[in-house]
């Protein structure tokens, strides 16, 4: 591909995640361009198409419509509608959409997780390999400047052998209420369990730091501790919506505080913009809170996913790692991590980290990878899409630093952790993966 031509992108799903990746095209028109979209919500679709100057003939209501147009174009002029597709639809659709466009030869960037079942993740790996395309999963943390700076030190071996990592994801009390109690990821049968939907890229990081070592044994504990009817404050009475609740002003999870009051303070972005199709205003947000899922009491919602979970990993050389995901924090997704090596340690909070070499007593060096705000996931969103675009331009999967098989292994580690939590046993990873692949092979 000519280095002077921008990579062309089709965005399937123009919600929060699709918009985040597409913004890179607007900021760097010389590198990539959004030329087609698929989005069922009319106002969201129009705003997105207008914002990115997408030709009306390439604006579709569904991904199936976009696929059909692509099929016709391929059959008539032998050309795809775009170089690559960004799959940012709901989790349960990831496999179906990815397989369809992979068969037509599109390079694909798929939002995390790959899919919502073990079998579908394995099927996706196979489909991508068979298609021979550039493929990325949105494990965005790998591409944040902070983690990339740490990764260089880990990979260099300058502090000796990595023996242990302690990694914590503080989800944020109102973020969890928004996404995992009231929102799209609140019920497992409509999406997946919370360790997968929220933290699969954290487990991916743990596996990445110890690579090429494989996890050998996995255990996990966790539950839905608080967000259920039994924990409802008695002062809330029979109210099922925050708008009508006498306890609302005292409740930290009040939908009125999280959305309406935030809008009144001038916020029309996340999480307020998730509630409506189009631009949030007093009328449509009030309507959403009075009738929609985001206005429901967190203790009356149908959510069933864990609000806290711990995962323990042992790797093939005996090294260990622990991960904690917890809803009850003021910090929102600012991971805290400690890396312990045979000759030193790194301690970080996703903004800065300190490096101590035990061989140099009293000398601890503080690092701040960047002083400039870099957007979502500490710059990981921009880092990922820029790297993906370059990989497509160069035709080099290795520029992404990962592939479908690598992504599958970290996903299987997440599934193994959840199996441990549910079954109350330590999981042998190799046995777990073999059993999963055997099931898929037998079903083919």
Would the pLDDT of 41 be above 80? yes
The predicted-structure confidence for 202-249, as pLDDT tens digits, reads as follows 999 999 999 999 999 999 999 999 999 999 999 999 999 999 999 999
Would the pLDDT of 72 be above 70? yes
The predicted-structure confidence for 260-279, as pLDDT tens digits, reads as follows 999 999 999 999 999 999 99
Would the pLDDT of 1 be above 80? no
Would the pLDDT of 80 be above 70? yes
Distance CA 268, CA 281 (A): 8
Query: What pLDDT band is residue 386 in, cutting at 50, 70 and 90?
Result: very high
Q: Which letter does DSSP use for residue 5 in this model?
A: S
Query: What pLDDT band is residue 135 in, cutting at 50, 70 and 90?
Result: very high
pLDDT cut 70: percent of the chain above it: 98
Would the pLDDT of 143 be above 90? yes
pLDDT computed for residue 106 by the predictor:
98
Strands (E), 211-352: 215-223, 308-315, 320-326, 336-341, 344-348
pLDDT computed for residue 332 by the predictor:
94
Would the pLDDT of 316 be above 70? yes
What is the enclosing helix (H) or strand (E) of 10?
strand 7-12
Domains of the chain listed by start with CATH number: 7-133 (3.40.50.720), 142-227+304-377+398-442 (3.30.360.10), 232-291 (no CATH)
The predicted-structure confidence for 406-435, as pLDDT tens digits, reads as follows 999 999 999 999 999 999 999 999 999 999
pLDDT computed for residue 271 by the predictor:
96
Tell me which of 83-87, 292-296, 402-406, 440-444 is least confident. 440-444
pLDDT computed for residue 378 by the predictor:
79
pTM of the model: 0.95
Mean pLDDT of 27-45: 97
As a whole number, the mean pLDDT across the chain is: 95
Mean pLDDT of 355-359: 97
Contacts of 435 (CB under 8 A, 6+ apart): none
Distance CA 437, CA 443 (A): 10
Nearest to 325 by CA among 168, 206, 112: 168
Q: Are 319 and 306 in contact (CB under 8 A)?
A: no
Query: What pLDDT band is residue 379 in, cutting at 50, 70 and 90?
Result: confident
The predicted-structure confidence for 167-186, as pLDDT tens digits, reads as follows 999 999 999 999 999 999 99
């Amino acid at each position: 591909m000519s280095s002077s031509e921008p990579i062309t992108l089709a965005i399937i799903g123009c919600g929060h995640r699709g918009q985040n990746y597409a913004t890179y095209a607007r900021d760097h028109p010389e590198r990539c361009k959004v030329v087609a979209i698929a989005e069922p919500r009319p106002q969201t679709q129009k705003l997105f198409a207008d914002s990115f100057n997408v030709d009306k003939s390439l604006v579709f209501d569904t991904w199936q419509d976009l696929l059909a147009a692509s099929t016709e174009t391929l059959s008539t002029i032998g050309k795809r509608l775009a170089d690559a597709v960004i799959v940012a639809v709901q989790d349960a659709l990831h496999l179906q959409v990815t397989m369809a466009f992979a068969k037509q030869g599109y390079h694909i960037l798929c939002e995390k997780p790959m899919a919502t079942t073990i079998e579908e993740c394995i099927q996706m790996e196979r489909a991508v390999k068979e298609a021979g395309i550039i493929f990325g999963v949105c494990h965005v943390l790998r591409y944040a400047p902070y983690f990339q700076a740490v990764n260089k030190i880990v990979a260099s071996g300058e502090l000796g052998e990595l023996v242990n990592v302690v990694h914590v994801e503080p989800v944020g009390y109102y973020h969890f209420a928004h996404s995992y109690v009231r929102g799209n990821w609140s019920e497992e049968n409509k999406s997946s369990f919370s360790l997968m939907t929220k933290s699969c890229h954290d487990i991916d990081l743990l596996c990445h730091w110890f690579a090429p070592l494989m996890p050998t044994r996995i255990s996990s504990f966790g539950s839905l501790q608080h967000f259920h009817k039994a924990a409802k404050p008695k002062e809330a009475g029979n109210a099922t919506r925050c708008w009508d609740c006498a306890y609302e002003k005292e409740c930290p999870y009040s939908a009125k505080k999280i959305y309406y009051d935030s809008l009144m303070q001038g916020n029309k972005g996340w999480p307020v913009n998730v509630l409506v199709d189009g631009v949030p205003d007093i009328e449509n947000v009030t309507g959403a809170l009075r009738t929609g899922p985001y206005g429901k009491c967190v203790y009356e919602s149908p959510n069933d996913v864990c609000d806290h979970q711990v995962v323990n990993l042992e790797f093939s050389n005996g090294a260990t790692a622990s991960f904690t995901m917890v809803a009850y924090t003021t910090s929102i997704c600012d991971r805290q991590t400690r890396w312990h090596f045979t000759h030193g340690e790194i301690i970080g909070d996703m903004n800065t980290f300190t490096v101590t070499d035990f061989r140099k007593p009293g000398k601890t060096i503080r690092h701040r990878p960047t002083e400039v705000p870099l957007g979502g996931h500490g710059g990981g969103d921009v880092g990922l899409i820029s790297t993906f675009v370059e990989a497509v331009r160069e035709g080099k999967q290795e520029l992404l630093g990962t592939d479908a098989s690598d992504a599958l292994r970290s996903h299987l580690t997440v599934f193994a952790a959840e199996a441990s939590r549910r079954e109350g046993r330590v999981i042998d990873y190799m046995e777990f993966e073999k059993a999963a692949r055997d099931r898929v092979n037998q079903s083919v």
